[in-house]
């Protein structure tokens, strides 16, 4: 049996573990991602524990929800062809990204858009990696919070356990190189820990500290669910999450508080 690895880190007096879910088969439209995760864990002699958090990459959720576009079926608009030609891109991908956008934020070198979910990202989150060699593009789930809530309910039904779910995607940052993980769908836990008006260890009352814990947990899982690892899901164990009706939409800064719009 293939040896399982785990990322561990000290958390207060306990330990945080990120456990890869190995053996998840290719995902097809109509599949239950929750069932695939539970079955893969069982095949490896593992199971979910009370207190676990499940983090899944959005791509397997999108595949299960049939959020795909065959690129040969796409007819690029004039705007898509012009932008693609100028930046050496596939005009079909540009067209799909534009269709998925509610707002074009930036159209220079890379297409930065705002999606219907309120996410600001490159190419509306449209991706062709780890699909079928470039023939098909995968879109973001239509409603990632709803998808996470569905998995949360299915996990409870099959295991009897309360398991929060985070759906993660990889985003770039405006002022830093490289990608990092972002929670685009959440169910079963609070996504932000608010430390405002609490005193720190030296007695100073904090005024602005709100910690985006769902994003941080997505990043922990990202160390396991690498781009070429074929590990699309991860169990976070040992983190004292706070139960609640959290959603990824709560992580999106409202327009009136947007610092750069």
Give the closest residue to 163 by CA, choosing from 31, 1, 29, 52: 52
Q: How far apart are CA 246 and CA 110, in angstroms?
A: 32
Buried b (16+ CB within 10 A) or exposed e, 212-238: bbbbebbbbbbebbeeeeebbbbbbbb
CA-based nearest residue to 32, from 223, 125, 226, 165: 165
Q: Give me the pLDDT at residue 13, please.
A: 45
**What single string gives the DSSP state of each residue in 234-260?**
EEEES-----S---GGGGSPPGGG-S-
The CA–CA distances, whole Å, from 38 to 5, 20, 156, 176 equal 18, 12, 11, 36
| pLDDT: which is higher, 165 or 227 | 165
Residue 2 has a pLDDT of 43
Q: What are phi and psi of 53, to 5 degrees?
A: -125, 135
Higher pLDDT, 203 or 111: 111
d(CA 96, CA 79): 12
The predicted structure's pLDDT at residue 196: 62
Q: What is the pLDDT of residues 125-173, one digit of tens each?
A: 999 877 777 789 999 999 999 999 999 999 999 999 999 999 999 999 8
66: alpha, beta or left, given left = phi > 0 and alpha = psi -120 to 50?
Answer: left
pLDDT tens for 167-192 read: 999 999 888 999 999 999 999 999 99
Mean pLDDT of the chain: 90
Distance between CA atoms of 28 and 152, rounded to whole angstroms? 20
């Amino acid at each position: 049996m293939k040896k399982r690895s785990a990322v561990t880190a000290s958390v207060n007096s306990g330990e945080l573990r990120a456990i890869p879910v190995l053996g998840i088969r290719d995902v097809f439209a109509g599949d239950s991602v929750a069932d695939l995760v539970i079955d893969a864990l069982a095949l490896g002699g593992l199971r979910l524990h009370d207190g676990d958090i499940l983090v899944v990459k959005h791509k397997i959720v999108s595949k299960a929800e049939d959020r795909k576009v065959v690129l040969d079926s796409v007819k690029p608009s004039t705007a898509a062809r012009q932008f693609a030609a100028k930046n050496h891109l596939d005009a079909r991908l540009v067209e799909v990204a534009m269709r998925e956008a509610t707002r074009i934020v930036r159209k220079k070198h890379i297409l930065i858009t705002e999606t219907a979910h309120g996410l600001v990202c490159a190419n509306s989150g449209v991706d062709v990696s780890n699909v079928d060699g470039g023939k098909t593009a995968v879109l973001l789930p239509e409603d990632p919070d709803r998808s996470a809530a569905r998995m949360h309910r299915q996990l409870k039904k099959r295991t009897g356990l309360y398991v929060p779910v985070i759906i993660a995607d990889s985003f770039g940052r405006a002022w830093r190189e490289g990608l990092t993980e972002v929670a685009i769908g959440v169910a079963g836990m609070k996504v932000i820990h608010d430390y405002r008006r609490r005193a720190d260890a030296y007695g100073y009352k904090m005024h602005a500290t709100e910690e985006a814990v769902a994003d941080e947990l997505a990043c922990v899982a990202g160390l396991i669910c690498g781009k070429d690892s074929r590990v699309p899901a991860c169990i976070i164990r040992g983190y004292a999450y706070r139960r609640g009706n959290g959603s990824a939409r709560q992580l999106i800064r409202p327009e009136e508080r947007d610092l750069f719009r």
